């Protein structure tokens, strides 16, 4: 049985009815709960295993039973580890219904149904007693309730409640302690994701920044990032890494609201822009098992390898990769100058779920109050970080301005079809007579209105709130787009520009004039693990979990997803190939349906696990802006990707080793009238072509 669901088509901008599985929402929730990359993290698994074994051994050594409570068991992996290590009793709880049912089957499949009791509840709802979920309190707690921010999933309340209601005194907790580390840095590249800078051209400021944006402290949401992939030459550490919060998870004295002030001597002079954050766990009571989430240049294992003369680039290939626990960037509310050798006050704050920081360029006697930063200017709510970075991309802006300069005259009346286009406003400063800007999103429109007011452009800028109110054909002579739309996820969904522009005659000048959909066959070093099946994990069969996730993913997920590929190393196995070039001067509604099949030759042996996809926008016959690689792609070499866009990624379910005798078949289907785009890729040998 099927249901019909209203969906926005980002290509056409129309709302349509789509037929979905009657349990579509359920399958979507299950697919999103996938944490296979975490279970592929062998270091995490092995260190949990070692700490669980040590905890059970310690309890038995002093003549006590080892009664284990596993909170948020997921697949039941940690509970099965405890069973294998000889725990006397094990109670696991899991609140998410599909996962609880899956865990029961996995536990049975692995032969532990008589040793592990699974409770389908949140730990905060568990009861103790003869007829309760636990007959008596546990004396070993095992749990993994951490996120990139450590405490963002409610870890503090989970541990505190367990100590108060579910654990005996002197219980052993795995992990034992957690430490949050911070490092203050100067980095214009980091700032580009948070603060919009003026648009400069030929030593002239084309667009000033409103004060409300310059003074805004930024988004409240944490900026999670793979810092190991952030180029070392794009930031300068101003302070040595500091442990700013330590949480004794084995104690009930876990506070929801804390502040801590560190007085630290600066190691470099510069302007403090942001704070890099990561955390580590001491897994056992003897402080012998350390699990670190540090970026490569501060990872404890890397320091050992560096002392042996191994380069950071080589070390990055052996340090454990994690997508479930990344590092984070926190933007300081005020950029602060520091001088090498001088002492500064680094202040950390946290509530039950979040961290935030400030830096004061002097010693202080009293820690000042500081509210958690939230966006007050709307920019950080309206636009994602990659879009803010895109707005600050000088080379990208330069290309668009050069293309505009060729088109704009004193008689130009421009229609800008892009959300939040500062370059559209810049067209006025380049001499345009007037500009219409389509802004259907309320927050984006509010941002543009601030720029119009600050730059005194109100007499020449007319903001349009809906597609129905677009100007007539006789009122404009240039259609401009970057293109970027808030509703677009993968790069080709920005072809919405084409659909909007097609409301006008092809005789009206356009910029860009064409778009090329591109691809390259790749070997991802790690990214494929977010979808890779687990099979056997630390000796336990988790294939039931694989089937659950795959079944739901097949029913709810697109085969192509968006990823910021600069964070995920990939080696090219082919040359870039053209899938389809679109002539944006044509009317999309008169464009014939496209069905293309081609074969892409593999030019480098390797493990073929994905296809990367992007769009090149041709502003004119000479200027192209790409949302893909930033340097020439060479088979066998790592690809350098644009940091300010997300690319499309197709991950192969059946990963294969390929050679120069292999090909990848590519099929592409596009129905312009309905805005439907489909891809299909298969790995073949040349003999199967």
What is the spatial distance between Cα 670 and Cα 674, in angstroms, rounded to a whole number?
9
CA 282 to chain centre: 26
The number of C-alpha atoms within 13 Å of 270 and in the hemisphere containing its C-beta is 16
CA 373 to chain centre: 20
What is the spatial distance between Cα 78 and Cα 175, in angstroms, rounded to a whole number?
12
Query: CB under 8 Å to 590, separation ≥6 — which residues?
Result: none
> Do the beta carbons of residue 600 and residue 521 sit within 8 Å?
yes
What is the spatial distance between Cα 246 and Cα 261, in angstroms, rounded to a whole number?
13
Three-state SS at 487: coil
Phi, psi (degrees; rounded to nearest 5) at 86? 95, 25
Catalytic residue among 29, 43, 153, 538: 153
- Counting beta carbons within 10 angstroms of the beta carbon of residue 418, is it exposed (0 to 12), middle (13 to 18) or buried (19 or more)? buried
CA 341 to chain centre: 36
The backbone region for 203, taken as left when phi is positive above 0, alpha when psi lies in -120 to 50, beta otherwise, is: left
> Do the beta carbons of residue 148 and residue 328 sit within 8 Å?
yes
Query: Cα(first)–Cα(last) distance of the chain, in Å?
Result: 38
**Nearest 10 degrees: CA dihedral of 222, 226, 232, 233?**
-60
The two tokens of residue 540 are 């336990």
Check the CA dihedral 406-411-415-418 and report its sign: positive
Strand ranges in 286-430 using DSSP code E only, listed in sequence order: 290-292, 327-338, 343-350, 355-360, 413-416
Catalytic residue among 144, 298, 523, 604: 144
Query: Is position 153 annotated as part of the catalytic site?
Result: yes
What is the spatial distance between Cα 232 and Cα 234, in angstroms, rounded to a whole number?
6
**Nearest 10 degrees: CA dihedral of 375, 380, 382, 386?**
-170
Looking at the DSSP bridge assignments, the partners of residue 292 are 280
Phi, psi (degrees; rounded to nearest 5) at 178? -135, 140
Query: Is position 144 annotated as part of the catalytic site?
Result: yes
- Counting beta carbons within 10 angstroms of the beta carbon of residue 666, is it exposed (0 to 12), middle (13 to 18) or buried (19 or more)? buried
CA 670 to chain centre: 28
Check the CA dihedral 213-217-223-229 and report its sign: positive
- Active-site residue numbers? 144, 153
């Amino acid at each position: 049985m099927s249901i019909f669901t209203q969906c926005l088509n980002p290509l056409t901008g129309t709302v349509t009815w789509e037929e979905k599985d009657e349990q579509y929402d359920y399958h979507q929730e299950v697919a999103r709960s996938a944490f296979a990359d975490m279970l592929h993290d062998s270091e995490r698994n092995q260190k949990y295993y070692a700490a669980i074994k040590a905890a059970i051994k310690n309890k038995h050594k002093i003549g006590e039973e080892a009664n284990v409570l596993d909170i948020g068991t997921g697949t039941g992996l940690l509970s099965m580890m405890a069973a294998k290590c000889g725990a006397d009793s094990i109670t696991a709880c899991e609140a998410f219904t599909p996962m609880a049912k899956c865990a029961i089957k996995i536990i049975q499949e692995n032969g532990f149904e008589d040793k592990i009791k699974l409770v389908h509840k949140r730990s905060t709802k568990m009861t103790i007693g003869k007829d309760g979920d636990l007959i008596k309190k546990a004396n070993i707690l095992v749990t993994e309730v951490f996120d990139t921010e450590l405490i963002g999933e409610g870890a503090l309340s989970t541990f505190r409640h367990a100590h108060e209601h579910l654990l005996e005194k002197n219980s052993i907790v795995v992990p034992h302690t957690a430490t949050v580390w911070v490092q203050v840095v100067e980095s214009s590249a980091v700032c580009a994701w948070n603060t919009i800078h003026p648009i400069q051209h030929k030593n002239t400021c084309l667009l000033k920044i409103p004060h409300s944006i310059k003074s805004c402290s930024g988004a409240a949401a944490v900026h999670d990032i793979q810092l190991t992939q952030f180029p070392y030459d794009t930031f300068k550490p101003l302070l040595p890494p500091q442990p700013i919060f330590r949480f004794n998870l084995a104690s009930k004295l876990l506070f929801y609201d804390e502040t801590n002030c560190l007085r630290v001597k600066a190691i470099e002079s510069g302007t403090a822009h942001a704070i890099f954050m990561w955390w580590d766990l001491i897994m056992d009571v003897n402080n012998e098992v350390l699990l670190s989430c540090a970026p490569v240049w501060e990872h404890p294992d890397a320091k050992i390898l560096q002392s042996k003369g191994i380069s950071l680039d080589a070390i990055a290939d052996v340090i454990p990769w994690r997508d479930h626990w990344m590092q984070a960037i926190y933007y300081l509310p005020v950029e602060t100058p520091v001088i090498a050798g001088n002492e500064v006050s680094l202040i950390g704050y946290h509530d039950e779920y979040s961290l935030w920081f400030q830096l004061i360029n002097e010693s202080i006697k009293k820690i000042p109050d500081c509210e958690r930063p939230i966006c007050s200017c709307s920019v950080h709510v309206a636009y994602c970080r990659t879009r803010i970075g895109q707005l600050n991309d000088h080379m990208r802006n330069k290309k668009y301005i050069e293309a505009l300069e060729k088109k704009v005259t004193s008689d130009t009346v421009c229609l800008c079809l892009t959300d939040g286009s500062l370059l559209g406003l810049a067209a006025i400063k380049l001499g345009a007579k007037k500009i219409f800007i389509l802004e259907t999103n309320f927050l984006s429109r509010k941002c543009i209105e601030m720029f119009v007011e600050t730059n005194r452009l109100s007499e020449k800028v007319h903001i349009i709130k809906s597609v129905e109110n677009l100007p007539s054909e006789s009122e404009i002579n240039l259609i401009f787009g970057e293109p970027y739309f808030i509703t677009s996820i993968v790069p080709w969904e920005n072809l919405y520009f084409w659909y909007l522009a097609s409301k006008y005659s092809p005789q009206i000048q356009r910029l860009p004039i064409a778009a090329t959909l591109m691809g390259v066959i790749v070997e991802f070093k790690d990214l494929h693990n977010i979808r890779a099946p687990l099979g056997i994990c630390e000796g336990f069969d988790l294939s039931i979990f694989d089937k659950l996730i795959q079944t739901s993913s097949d029913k709810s997920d697109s085969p192509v997803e968006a990823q910021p590929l600069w964070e995920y190393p990939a080696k090219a196995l082919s040359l870039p190939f053209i899938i389809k070039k679109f002539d944006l001067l044509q009317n999309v509604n008169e464009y014939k349906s496209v069905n293309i099949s081609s074969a892409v030759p593999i030019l480098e042996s390797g493990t073929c696990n994905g296809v990367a996809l992007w769009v090149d926008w041709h502003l004119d016959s000479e200027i192209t802006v790409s949302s893909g690689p930033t340097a020439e792609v060479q088979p066998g070499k790592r690809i350098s990707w644009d940091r300010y866009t997300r690319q499309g990624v197709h991950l192969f379910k059946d990963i294969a080793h390929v050679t120069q005798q292999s090909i990848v078949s590519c099929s592409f289907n596009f129905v312009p009238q309905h805005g439907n785009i489909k891809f299909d890729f298969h790995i073949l040998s040349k003999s199967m072509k």
